[in-house]
Structure formats: structure tokens, C-alpha cells
Amino acid sequence: MKPTTLHCGRYRLALDRTRSRPLVMGILNVTPDSFSDGRRFDSLELVVSRAEQMIAEGVDIIDIGGESSRPGVAPVPLDEELRRVMPVLYALRDCGKPLSIDTYKPEVMREAIAADADMINDINGFRAPGALAAIAESDCALCIMHMQGIPQSMQQDPRYDDVLHDVQVFFHERLRAAQQAGIASERLCIDPGFGFGKTLEHNLILLRHLGQLQAELNLPLLAGLSRKSMLGSITGKPVEARLAGSLAAALAAAVQGAQIIRVHDVAETVDALNVWQAATAITT
């Protein structure tokens, strides 16, 4: 039996494929380097209007990120990350959609939870000392992502004995840690972390076996493939021309049982998933 609800802070998210399409998590970047000209992006209004646009497009969860985790990018100091993320969180607090914070810093997690964040999305899988303790007492959801290495160097020469098995072992260990911290399994979802210390081949093995991962761990699965370089490797297209590839990847993940899809292009992904859902509806 697949999990059918995610306990997500102020919300209970239905994940039942017999009733609804997979959920769409919209990426809201609050990082200066998310802009091609590299200029400082400090207009709260622009970020909030992008969030409002995503809501109009049918987004289910908004993922606010203040630190780029692209390969090779330098880490952001704590106070700078807080300066980027917290005003956005306050501004969107009552927007009616669950708010996720993409961070691996326990201090950011604590501040975000105090400001009503509904989910913490940690590319580091809550391995930082104090990360699980920072969220244990709250009722926010946790997205536990797998990453090999650290963003600065993870793509240099990723190696596994057996990528699927190694990722499974990682999740079993993190789930045990979460359980020991007193975190209910209804709050958890897992993500294999496409592109995080993985070659194209590793990513494709994980994508083809997502269903197996889901069955083995029996938790909701989140997949983030949007515009990633693995799509560039397959299509030969630069990042700004990866929409079609991203939609195909989103559908592939959905077919494999992913219940939450993390994307930049919300409107297009919602359409694609709605059509897929209608075409494959399970009627009982």
C-alpha cells in the first residue's frame, strides 16, 4: 500500500493516485545567481509575484530556496540565507499553499518553522548535527534527499557499487535516525536527488527504478528533474531549452510512482500531469 497522505505542517496533502494527479512543487529561487546576469535579486515584490503566478497555475507546494545547490557553487553564509528566505516566508505565510524551505542548515530550519514553514526540504538528508532535533518538535514535513558528497565537488567523479542499493541503504539509515528523533513517518517523504553526486547513468538507473525504491521504503516519493543537466546530456539542449525534456522526465517519474514533482515550469507540468492523470485514471 502506498502512503496516501503527507502530514505537512498546517496541511494534509492527499497523495492518492486514484483521486488526483501527482502534486507539483514549484521552485521559488531567492538567490542572486539564479539570474543570468548575476545581479543581486533583492526585490521581494518580484519573488512574491512569481509565487502568486505559480498559485494561479495550480502549484501544490511552494519550495523557497535561498542557497543554490548547483554543482560547484559556493555555500551561502547563514545570515545571508536567512536574509533571503525569511522575508519571502513571511510575505507568503497566508497564501493558502504549503510552504517548503530548501535548506540544510538547522538554524534556518528553526527560524522557518517558527514562521510557519510547512515542509523542510533538505538536500543533505538532515545529516547536519542538530538538523533532526531542529524539526522534531514541529509538525512540518521532511523531504529527505540523497546526495553523495557536497555540492562543491559532488559531480567530479561520482561512483557507487550499486547506485540503487546504496541509495536504499542511505534512506534506511536516515529513516532510522528520524524515527529515533521521534518523527512520525506520516511526515516523511524521500527523494533520490537527481544530479547530486550522480552520473547520467546513475540518474537513469534511479529514474527507471523509482517504483522499486518506493515499494522498498513505502514512503511518498518526490522527484526533481526540472531543467537538470542530465536532460541536457540527453537532448543536447542548454538549460533554457529543456522544457520538453523536463515534462517528459516529470511524466516518467509519475509513471514510476513519484507523488510529488519539483519543477520550475508549473503551468506546463500541471497540464501534462492532468492529461496523464485523465488518460490513466484508475477507476475502482
Q: Which spans of this chain sit near ligand 7PJ (rule: CB under 6 A)? A: 27, 69-70, 102, 121, 123, 143, 145, 191, 193-194, 222, 224, 228, 262
The least distance separating ligand 7PJ from the CB of residue 95, rounded to whole angstroms, comes to 20
By C-beta, is 135 or 143 nearer to ligand 7PJ? 143
| The three cell numbers locating residue 64 | 523557497
By C-beta, is 132 or 143 nearer to ligand 7PJ? 143
By C-beta, is 113 or 142 nearer to ligand 7PJ? 142
The least distance separating ligand 7PJ from the CB of residue 101, rounded to whole angstroms, comes to 11
Phi, psi angle pair for 270, to nearest 5°: -60, -45
The least distance separating ligand 7PJ from the CB of residue 237, rounded to whole angstroms, comes to 15
Half-sphere exposure of 70 (CA within 13 A, CB side): 13
Q: Name the residue among 175, 165, 148, 263 with its Cα closest to residue 209.
A: 165
By C-beta, is 92 or 253 nearer to ligand 7PJ? 253
Catalytic-residue membership of 262: yes
Residues 6+ apart with CB under 8 A from 161: none
By C-beta, is 113 or 207 nearer to ligand 7PJ? 207
Task: Give strand pairing partners of 191.
Answer: 145
Q: Name the residue among 139, 146, 214 with its Cα closest to residue 174.
A: 146
Residues 6+ apart with CB under 8 A from 198: 148, 158, 163, 206
The least distance separating ligand 7PJ from the CB of residue 85, rounded to whole angstroms, comes to 14
Half-sphere exposure of 67 (CA within 13 A, CB side): 25
The least distance separating ligand 7PJ from the CB of residue 122, rounded to whole angstroms, comes to 8
Cα 15 to chain centroid distance, Å, stands at 15
Q: How many CB atoms lie within 10 A of CB 239?
A: 12
Pairwise CA distance, residues 119 & 187, whole Å: 9
Q: Name the residue among 21, 23, 96, 103 with its Cα closest to residue 66.
A: 103
Q: Of 83, 228, 237, 242, which residue is the catalytic one?
A: 228
The least distance separating ligand 7PJ from the CB of residue 176, rounded to whole angstroms, comes to 20
Catalytic-residue membership of 198: no
Question: Long-range contact list for 274-280, CB < 8 A, 24+ apart?
Answer: 274/21, 276/21, 276/251, 277/17, 277/20, 277/21, 277/22
Query: Nearest residue by C-beta to ligand 7PJ?
Result: 224
By C-beta, is 61 or 92 nearer to ligand 7PJ? 61
List active site positions. Answer: 228, 262
